[in-house]
Amino acid sequence: MNKQSRELLWEFMTRYWRQYLVGMAMLIVVDVLQTFVPRFVGRAVDRIAGQQGHIWTEIGWILGIAVAVAILRYFYRIFIMGTTRHLEYYLRRQIFAHALRLPLSYYEQAGPGGVMALMTNDVTAIRVAFGLGAILLIDAVVMGFAAFFLMARTIDLELTCWSLLPLPFIMLGVMGMGEKVHIAFRQVQEKFSRLTEFSQQTFAGLRVVKGFAAEHTMLERFEKISRQSVEASMKLAGIQAVYLPVTHSLPFLTYAIALYLGGRKMMDGQMTAGDLTALIGYLGVIIWPLMGLGYLWNVLEKGAASLQRIVQVLAEPVQEPQIETKDKPDPLPGHHLEFRDLTFYYPGSGQPALQSVSFQVPPGAMVGIVGRTGAGKSTLLKLVLRLYHPPAAAIFIGGQDIHELNVESLRHHIGYVPQETLLFSRTIAENIAFDRFYPEDSVKEAARLAAVTEDIHAKTQGMETVLGEKGKKLSGGQQQRVAIARALVKEPSILLLDDVFSALDYRTQQVLLSNMRKFLEGKTSVIVSQRVAAVKQADMIYVMDRGRIVEQGNHRELVTGRGLYYQLYEQQLAGEVKETFCVSEQ
pLDDT at residue 496, as a whole number: 92
- Model confidence pLDDT, tens digit, residues 423-444: 887 888 888 887 678 888 888 8
pLDDT at residue 584, as a whole number: 42
Domain co-membership, 172 together with 205 = yes
pLDDT at residue 100, as a whole number: 83
Give mean pLDDT, residues 560-580.
75
Domain co-membership, 305 together with 408 = no
Query: Per the domain annotation, does 257 fall within a domain?
Result: yes
Distances (CA, A) of 343 to 25, 346, 347, 393, 542: 62, 10, 13, 11, 16
Q: Is the pLDDT of residue 47 over 80?
A: yes
- Model confidence pLDDT, tens digit, residues 392-422: 999 999 889 998 888 888 888 888 988 888 8
Give mean pLDDT, residues 535-559.
92
**Domain endpoint, select from 256, 285, 314:** 314
Domain co-membership, 42 together with 105 = yes
Q: Is the pLDDT of residue 64 over 90?
A: yes
pTM over 0.75: no
Domain co-membership, 306 together with 337 = no
Residues 6+ apart with CB under 8 A from 397: 332, 333, 334, 335, 336, 337, 338, 405, 410, 494
Q: How confident is the model at residue 255 (pLDDT cuts 50, 70, 90)?
A: confident
- Model confidence pLDDT, tens digit, residues 121-174: 889 989 999 998 888 888 888 888 888 888 888 888 888 888 888 877 777 766
Domain co-membership, 281 together with 365 = no
Domain co-membership, 263 together with 334 = no
Q: How confident is the model at residue 175 (pLDDT cuts 50, 70, 90)?
A: low
Give the lowest-confidence range in 243-257, 509-523, 569-583: 569-583
Query: Per the domain annotation, does 423 fall within a domain?
Result: no
Query: Per the domain annotation, does 123 fall within a domain?
Result: yes
Query: Per the domain annotation, does 425 fall within a domain?
Result: no
- Model confidence pLDDT, tens digit, residues 318-336: 766 555 555 566 778 778 8
In the Cβ-directed half-sphere of 350, how many Cα atoms lie within 13 Å?
A: 0
pLDDT at residue 578, as a whole number: 46
Could you tell me where the DSSP H helices lie in 413-500?
428-433, 440-449, 453-457, 476-488
pLDDT at residue 272, as a whole number: 85
CATH number for the domain harbouring residue 383: 3.40.50.300
Q: What are phi and psi of 112, to 5 degrees?
A: -80, -15
315 vs 125: CA distance, rounded Å:
20
Q: Is the pLDDT of residue 583 over 50?
A: no
Domain co-membership, 24 together with 140 = yes
Which among 253, 268, 277 has a CA at the least distance from the CA of 155? 277
CATH number for the domain harbouring residue 290: 1.20.1560.10
Q: Is the pLDDT of residue 454 over 70?
A: yes
Which among 284, 286, 292 has a CA at the least distance from the CA of 247? 292
Cβ(431)–Cβ(482) below 8 Å: yes
Give mean pLDDT, residues 286-302.
74
More confident residue, 347 or 72: 72
Distances (CA, A) of 59 to 54, 68, 140, 484: 10, 14, 26, 78
Q: What percent of the chain has pLDDT over 70?
A: 90
Q: How confident is the model at residue 586 (pLDDT cuts 50, 70, 90)?
A: very low
Query: Per the domain annotation, does 177 fall within a domain?
Result: yes
Query: Per the domain annotation, does 105 fall within a domain?
Result: yes
Q: Is the pLDDT of residue 197 over 80?
A: no
Domain co-membership, 337 together with 278 = no
Domain co-membership, 162 together with 86 = yes
Cβ(103)–Cβ(383) below 8 Å: no
433 vs 5: CA distance, rounded Å:
39
* Mean pLDDT score across all residues of the chain: 83
Query: Per the domain annotation, does 513 fall within a domain?
Result: no
Which among 408, 314, 325, 321 has a CA at the least distance from the CA of 118? 314
pLDDT at residue 395, as a whole number: 94
Domain co-membership, 78 together with 53 = yes
Residues 6+ apart with CB under 8 A from 380: 339, 342, 354, 357, 369, 526, 528
Which among 494, 484, 532 has a CA at the least distance from the CA of 395? 494
Rounded to 10 deg, the angle between the 293-314 and 215-244 helix axes is 130
Give the lowest-confidence range in 50-64, 448-462, 566-580: 566-580
Domain co-membership, 139 together with 107 = yes
- Find the helix or strand (DSSP H, E) in which 524 lies: strand 524-528
Q: Is the pLDDT of residue 523 over 80?
A: yes
Residues 6+ apart with CB under 8 A from 212: none
Domain co-membership, 212 together with 309 = yes
Domain that holds residue 46: 3-314
Q: How confident is the model at residue 267 (pLDDT cuts 50, 70, 90)?
A: confident
R_g (Cα) of the chain, nearest Å: 35
Number of domains composing the chain: 2
Query: Per the domain annotation, does 37 fall within a domain?
Result: yes
pLDDT at residue 580, as a whole number: 47
pLDDT at residue 576, as a whole number: 56
